[in-house]
């Protein structure tokens, strides 16, 4: 299924060596989707956790595929959605590979300041690829 977030916040994470590694947050107006499941019809890599009470709308992938075939506007929306998801993935990769932890935190603060009020710092630290102690040090400097 694909979920559309009307209210609330969710995170996507994987378990690596027993640790939960957060790699995505979704909030109001965003879509929760496993691209692997959507494109290849395989089990997704991620686990999804609701971090707040959420109101979600859902549609099955097969129903969405039918809508794509029936309506060109919806098919174009699906293409644009996939393109935007690819850009978001590329931005996360570039941020993780080429920016320092302090730069990644500043970027998160600039682009999603409400996350810091709504998400546990342990999840934020995991998302940034650092320990919670390192995050506390960065926050003290900024």
Residue 91: other Cβ atoms inside 10 A = 12
119: CB partners within 8 A, 6+ apart: 9, 11, 25, 51
Region 54-72 average pLDDT = 96
Q: pLDDT grade, residue 51 (50/70/90)?
A: very high
Q: Would you say 44 and 32 are in contact if contact means Cβ atoms under 8 Å apart?
A: no
134/132 Cα distance (integer angstroms):
5
CA dist 90 and 86 (Å) reads 6
Reported confidence tier of residue 35, pLDDT bands at 50, 70, 90: confident
**pLDDT range class, residue 15, cuts 50, 70, 90:** very high
- 49 has pLDDT over 90: yes
Q: Are 2 and 19 in contact (CB under 8 A)?
A: no
Instruction: Evaluate if residue 142 carries a pLDDT over 90.
Output: no
| More confident of the two residues 53 and 44 | 53
Which pLDDT score is estimated for 78? 92
Q: How confident is the model at residue 26 (pLDDT cuts 50, 70, 90)?
A: very high
- pTM (2 decimals)? 0.86
- Beta bridge mates, 59: 2
The DSSP H or E segment spanning 69 is helix 61-70
Pairwise CA distance, residues 125 & 135, whole Å: 6
Instruction: Assign 12 to helix, strand or coil.
Output: strand
pLDDT at 90 over 90: yes
**Range 95-117 average pLDDT:** 93
């Amino acid at each position: 299924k694909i979920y559309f977030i009307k209210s609330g916040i969710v995170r996507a994470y994987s378990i690596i060596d027993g640790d939960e590694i957060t790699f995505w947050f979704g909030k109001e107006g965003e879509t929760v989707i496993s691209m692997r499941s959507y494109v290849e019809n395989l089990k997704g890599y991620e686990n999804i956790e609701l971090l707040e009470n959420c109101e979600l709308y859902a549609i099955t992938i097969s129903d969405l595929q039918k809508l794509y075939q029936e309506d060109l506007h919806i098919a174009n929306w699906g293409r644009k959605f996939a393109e935007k998801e690819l850009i978001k993935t590329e931005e996360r990769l570039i941020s993780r590979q080429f920016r320092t932890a302090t730069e990644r935190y500043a970027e998160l603060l600039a682009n999603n300041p409400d996350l810091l009020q709504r998400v546990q710092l342990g999840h934020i630290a995991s998302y940034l690829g650092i320990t919670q102690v390192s995050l506390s040090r960065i926050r003290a400097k900024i």
